């Protein structure tokens, strides 16, 4: 085992959360190492951005790069009811007549690499093909990482350790911090298509969310570059996977996907003549949250802290936002030479307050009796609040005023408070 030099910050995982935190800390002159398990850019799910990512991209110096990319521009999200009826699109510029109302649909292999290249340009030492086995602790204090680099197991020491390993959730698993959202036990099946129908003009880059006939599942349709469209279906774990095993106990993901698509006529029509590009991928148990966001000399960001649900495309935004908030906390920690849980996790409560608005709207979406169209015909004054949440404006505007009326139809679970270490 080799033991290496000391870094001021070590970021584990080169997804959007990790790149963001690493870049913003390095920009303040600190020595940052980012290690990413994958040696090459790879396919990842999570391809639709929401407008509020604009402000983090601005700080990262990414806006020009995104504007000159080939990623389709996204102006809206549109929902389809179980009967196949298209509801009015929610255009983000309706409440926000600013350039930040336009966002992008991204191929993750390219997008994540752009963020990593940007991190390198801003002074981060990026090492690909290095898989962290565990975070090293002295008592409660994180002191470094043990990482596999080819055949070598290396120890690298760092003052602050940032866990941005996504659903791998390295520290969360090591310290047993994660709890599955009990009412959001979902699974998803997805692939890419080439060809198929796209709307024109402003709606060409829209995300579509389409209920299936019995409302037991829903599809996303996300237009991507190269004339590709990302198509995925989400339903409860029992409905989509557990109860669909064949007599041999095996799952046929393609068969399940096709059966669900049959129940979603508007999407079938759009995919008429389109070619499926790779076998159906499956994921499950993706909705969980860690009970703590930081500890002595460590902090969790992005999916490593928690993930809600794919329906409103909030995952990338929350990854970027938590990366940004954590970076500010880390810089302050260095300035004050204080790497306590309180200092590094000082952003935790405001971060989860924003997440809570998304969470409530997710619960509304899964309430069978709820529909945006019905809600807005009864309470038209809440259109702005809904568009603000769909845009991700949960940290810049007060959006919570819509929930008392929504709670007349929808059950909202109690908030999940943050805990601190018990000493």
Ligand X SMILES: Cc1cc2nc3c(=O)[nH]c(=O)nc-3n(C[C@H](O)[C@H](O)[C@H](O)COP(=O)(O)OP(=O)(O)OC[C@H]3O[C@@H](n4cnc5c(N)ncnc54)[C@H](O)[C@@H]3O)c2cc1C
Given the complex with ligand X, which of 95 and 164 has the nearer CB atom?
164
The alpha carbon dihedral of 352, 305, 40, 148 has a sign of positive
Of the candidates 158, 232, 354, 392, which one interacts with ligand X according to CB under 6 A?
232
Q: Are strands 2-12 and 178-180 parallel, antiparallel or unpaired?
A: unpaired
Given the complex with ligand X, which of 355 and 382 has the nearer CB atom?
355
Site for ligand X in 355-414 (CB under 6 A): none
CB of 215 to ligand X, least distance (A): 18
Of the candidates 9, 10, 11, 17, which one interacts with ligand X according to CB under 6 A?
17
For residue 48, state whether it binds ligand X (rule: CB under 6 A): yes
- For 391-404, b/e burial (b = at least 16 CB within 10 A) is bbbbbeeebeebbe
For residue 233, state whether it binds ligand X (rule: CB under 6 A): no
Site for ligand X in 108-137 (CB under 6 A): 131-132
3-state helix vs strand vs coil in the chain, percent to 5: 35, 25, 35
> Are 105 and 75 spatial neighbours (Cβ–Cβ below 8 Å)?
no
In 3D, which of 413, 412, 406, 411 has the Cα closest to residue 374? 406
For residue 316, state whether it binds ligand X (rule: CB under 6 A): yes
CB of 155 to ligand X, least distance (A): 14
For residue 289, state whether it binds ligand X (rule: CB under 6 A): no
Given the complex with ligand X, which of 375 and 386 has the nearer CB atom?
386
> Are 192 and 105 spatial neighbours (Cβ–Cβ below 8 Å)?
no
Grouping H, G, I as helix, E, B as strand and the rest as coil, residue 249 is: coil
Of the candidates 170, 256, 280, 329, which one interacts with ligand X according to CB under 6 A?
170
Of the candidates 310, 348, 385, 392, which one interacts with ligand X according to CB under 6 A?
310
User: Which helix (H) or strand (E) is 178 found in, with range?
Assistant: strand 178-180
For residue 12, state whether it binds ligand X (rule: CB under 6 A): yes
Given the complex with ligand X, which of 196 and 235 has the nearer CB atom?
235
Q: Give CA–CA dist 367/362, Å, rounded.
A: 9
Q: Give CA–CA dist 83/99, Å, rounded.
A: 35
Given the complex with ligand X, which of 218 and 372 has the nearer CB atom?
218
Give the burial class of 198: count Cβ atoms within 10 A of its Cβ; 0-12 exposed, 13-18 middle, 19 or more buried: middle
Phi, psi at 48, each rounded to 5°: -110, 125
Site track 248-287 with ligand X (rule: CB under 6 A), x = hit? -----------------------------------x--x-
Q: Give CA–CA dist 350/342, Å, rounded.
A: 13
Given the complex with ligand X, which of 15 and 375 has the nearer CB atom?
15
CA dist list (Å): 271 to 19, 192, 253, 266, 420 = 35, 11, 18, 9, 49
Of 36-44, 86-94, 248-256, 340-348, which part binds ligand X (CB under 6 A)?
36-44
Given the complex with ligand X, which of 143 and 187 has the nearer CB atom?
187
In 3D, which of 345, 343, 360 has the Cα closest to residue 394? 360
Q: Give CA–CA dist 357/380, Å, rounded.
A: 19
Of the candidates 9, 33, 34, 36, which one interacts with ligand X according to CB under 6 A?
36
> Are 18 and 11 spatial neighbours (Cβ–Cβ below 8 Å)?
yes
Given the complex with ligand X, which of 27 and 48 has the nearer CB atom?
48
Site for ligand X in 138-167 (CB under 6 A): 164-167
For residue 178, state whether it binds ligand X (rule: CB under 6 A): no
Given the complex with ligand X, which of 40 and 248 has the nearer CB atom?
40
Given the complex with ligand X, which of 50 and 375 has the nearer CB atom?
50
Site track 317-336 with ligand X (rule: CB under 6 A), x = hit? x-x-----------------
CB of 222 to ligand X, least distance (A): 6
Residue 269: Cβ within 10 Å count: 11
For residue 303, state whether it binds ligand X (rule: CB under 6 A): yes
CB of 247 to ligand X, least distance (A): 28
> Are 21 and 325 spatial neighbours (Cβ–Cβ below 8 Å)?
no
Residues that bind ligand X (CB under 6 A): 12-18, 35-38, 44-48, 131-132, 164-168, 170, 188, 232, 283, 286, 302-304, 307, 310, 313-317, 319
């Amino acid at each position: 085992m080799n033991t290496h030099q000391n870094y001021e910050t070590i970021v584990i995982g080169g997804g959007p959360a990790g790149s963001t935190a690493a870049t913003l800390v390095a920009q303040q002159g600190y020595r940052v190492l980012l290690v990413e398990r994958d040696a090459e850019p790879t396919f990842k799910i999570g391809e639709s951005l929401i407008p509020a990512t604009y402000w983090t991209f601005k700080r990262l110096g990414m806006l020009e790069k995104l504007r000159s990319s080939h990623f389709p521009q996204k102006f809206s999200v549109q929902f389809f009811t179980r009967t196949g009826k298209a509801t009015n699109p929610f255009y983000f510029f309706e409440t926000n007549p600013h350039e930040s109302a336009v966002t992008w649909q991204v191929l993750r292999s390219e997008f994540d690499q752009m963020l990593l290249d940007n991190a390198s340009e801003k002074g981060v030492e990026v090492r690909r093909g290095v898989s962290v086995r565990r975070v090293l602790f002295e008592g409660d204090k994180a002191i470094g990482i043990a990482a596999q680099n080819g055949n070598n197991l290396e120890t690298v020491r760092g003052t602050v350790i940032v866990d941005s390993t996504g659903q791998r959730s390295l520290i969360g698993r090591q310290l047993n911090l994660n709890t599955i959202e009990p009412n959001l036990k979902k699974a998803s099946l997805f692939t890419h298509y080439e060809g198929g129908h796209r709307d024109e003009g402003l709606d060409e880059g829209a995300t579509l969310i389409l209920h299936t006939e019995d409302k037991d599942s829903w599809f996303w349709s996300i237009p991507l570059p190269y004339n590709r469209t990302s198509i995925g279906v989400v339903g409860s774990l029992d409905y989509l996977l557990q109860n669909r095993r064949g007599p041999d106990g095996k799952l046929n993901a393609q068969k399940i996907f096709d059966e669900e698509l049959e129940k979603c006529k508007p999407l079938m029509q759009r995919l008429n003549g389109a070619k499926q590009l790779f076998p159906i991928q499956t994921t499950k148990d993706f909705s969980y949250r860690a009970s703590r966001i930081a500890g002595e000399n460590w902090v969790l960001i992005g999916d490593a802290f928690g993930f809600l649900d794919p329906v409103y495309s909030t995952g990338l935004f929350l990854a970027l936002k938590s990366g940004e908030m954590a970076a500010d906390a880390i810089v302050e920690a260095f300035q004050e030479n204080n790497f306590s849980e309180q200092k590094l996790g000082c952003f935790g409560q405001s971060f989860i307050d924003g997440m809570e608005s998304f969470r409530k709207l997710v619960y509304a979406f899964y309430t069978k009796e709820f529909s945006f169209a019905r809600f807005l015909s009864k309470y038209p004054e809440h259109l702005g609040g809904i568009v603000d949440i769909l845009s991700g404006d949960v940290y810049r505007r007060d959006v919570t005023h819509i929930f008392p009326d929504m709670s007349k139809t929808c059950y909202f679970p109690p908030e999940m408070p943050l805990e601190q270490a018990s000493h």
